[in-house]
Structure formats: C-alpha cells, structure tokens
Structure 1
C-alpha cells in the first residue's frame, strides 16, 4: 500500500464534476454532491459543475470544453456507466480519450467487489487522459462515488502519495503536444 509523505507539499487539484442523468436536478444530485463534498474536504478546488442528459454528443462536447479549459485538471462524471440503452457516458469519454487508464477500471472493480460482490460486473467505470486533463467516469450511485474517491482518487490526486500519484505526472500529460 501507499503512504503519504508529509515532507512534500499538498497541491490542490482543480476538478470539474459532471452528473449525467435524464431525470436528476441539482437538488436531487446526491452522487454529484458526494463528489463535491469529498473534493472540498480533501482541499481540492471545485472548478465547474453541471448536469447533462444521457446524450453521447452533449457529454463528449462538455468534456472537450472542460479539457480545453486551463483551469480544469480533472473531470469526474457520475452516471451513465451501466448497461442500459441510455447509458452512454463511457462511450462519450472514449470519444475524447487520447489514452485510457485501463487499470482504473480494474482497481474500481476490485474495490466494488468488496462492497457489492459480483454486482460489480455491471459497472463500466473508466478513466483516461486527453489534452493534459484526467477524466474518470463513475457510476451514478453515491456509494460508488464514495468508493471511487475514498479508495482510489483520494490517494492518486494527492501529490504526497507514494510511491507515485497522478498529480506528479500531470505536467507531462501533454508533452507530446509541445514543440521539441
């Protein structure tokens, strides 16, 4: 297991939260609120938040706008990762990924197995990188958002986490786009 190196400084990350739902309003968005609370509690910055319907093109367009925004380092979406016909968040994420973080889905499944057993196979949580921005698509339940944050993202979005973390390589995510 990793550890926190207290000799390193904490570096706040700017995070956007996208809730994907045909029915939820801001007042009913428990999953988005779960993420917002954890972002603040860990000392990160909520850079943006919105709710969109389960429409692949709209989701992908919003992801692209946030990827292009230099004030956003990470995008977390919640909802639309299941198996039903309207669940298109994963496809929208993959429409914009430059690289997929395959191990995120694997680790999320391992965490979920401890909580919900074999029902974990119904999640298509995913992670990736585009334009120097991290993107993670999480299931639409508050429990799944808690699990993803508490067991994975809390640690990987903390620069002090050892042996490694997402924040320390953030400056190099778009190195292929820079002139050599």
Structure 2
C-alpha cells in the first residue's frame, strides 16, 4: 500500500443545531465527537447554535473558509417542523451536492425506523474543498450516519472511492483520486 493510500487524520468540525441542547445535554454532538476521535480524526471545532438559518450559515461559512476544517458534521434541524432549517441554511453554500448521501441514509435508516425515515432531509455536499454532512438530531441517527456511511467516506484507504482526495490539503497531505472499479 502506498503512503497516499494510508489512513489520513482529517480535521472535523461538529455543529449541533438545537433550540434546547447545551454542552451537557448534546448527546448527538458528543457521539459524533467520540466517533471521529475513535476513528483517528481530529476535532477541529465544536459548536451549538439555535435553529436559525443565518446562525447556521455563519458558523458553517466560517469553517468552510478556514484553512484547517476539512469536514463539517451537522446534527439537527433536518426534519419538517417549522423550526427545522438546516437544509435551507446549507444548500446555498454548496458547490456540489452529494445526492447519494441522503438517499443512502434514508435507505439504511429504514431498517431501523421504518417509513419514518422519509421525514429526514439529510443532505451532503462539497464547498471550498470541505465536505459537509447534515443528519437528524437524534443520537441514533448520528450513529447510523457515521457508522454506515460517513466513516468509510472519510477514510483514504476505502476503495474504490472516498472523499479524502476531494478535500483541502492540510499538513502536506498526499491523496490519490478514486480507483477504477475495473
């Protein structure tokens, strides 16, 4: 295995969107932080904001523009209540969308919660060489998204493709493009 195909720790920021959670009660954000560290990545930043389009965009835009944040994980605000506004906040910031993420999240989530998964507006996309994954606010949904989708896509050794080569380079990272499926 070449050096470019070895695991590369990424700088990941976690944003919890909630009108009620704080650092003590943010089990979803804490779950994502634990999971990314356990996988060997680095927590670049963590914040909690109320479900407000402009507050979500402000924090996310700061991370997108930073020289260090490569990945943004957003939990919360993806449902259908009047306060759920994460997709509306994030979509205009994306250079490219990753349609397959939302589709796959709902597919794997169906096994756990049945048809209620259609109420998830999970989405992902790239912005300024930063990948953004938005997922529901429940701890279970965060674990599903991380364990069944995101973790592999943030691992440079995952074949045939992962997102590592698409991300901004930090600390002289070396990355190859996806391999052919042959």
Fold in common (TM above 0.5): yes
CA distance in 1 between counterparts of 2:13 and 2:39 reads 15
CA distance in 2 between counterparts of 1:80 and 1:68 reads 22
Which residue does 2:41 correspond to in 1?
44
Which residue does 1:150 correspond to in 2?
147
Which residue does 1:161 correspond to in 2?
158
CA distance in 2 between counterparts of 1:26 and 1:66 reads 20
Are 2:130 and 2:168, in contact at CA under 8 Å, matched by a contact in 1?
no
Residues 132 and 26 of structure 1, relative CA distance in 2, 3 Å threshold: same
2:65 to 63, 68, 84: 68
Are 1:6 and 1:160, in contact at CA under 8 Å, matched by a contact in 2?
no
Structure 1 counterpart SS, 2:15: strand
Over the aligned positions, Cα root-mean-square deviation in angstroms equals 1.5
Which residue does 2:97 correspond to in 1?
100
Which residue does 1:137 correspond to in 2?
134
Residues 119 and 45 of structure 1, relative CA distance in 2, 3 Å threshold: same
The structure that is helix-richer by fraction is 1
- Distance apart, 1:35 and its partner CA: 0.2
Is there any run of 5+ residues in structure 2 with no aligned partner, and where? 170-182
CA distance in 2 between counterparts of 1:52 and 1:155 reads 27
Are 1:81 and 1:139, in contact at CA under 8 Å, matched by a contact in 2?
yes
TM-score by length of 1: 0.90
Are 2:75 and 2:137, in contact at CA under 8 Å, matched by a contact in 1?
yes
CA distance in 1 between counterparts of 2:16 and 2:168 reads 27
CA distance in 2 between counterparts of 1:109 and 1:138 reads 10
User: Which runs of structure 1 show a deviation greater than 2 angstroms over 4 or more consecutive aligned residues?
Assistant: 5-8, 168-172
Residues 41 and 94 of structure 1, relative CA distance in 2, 3 Å threshold: same
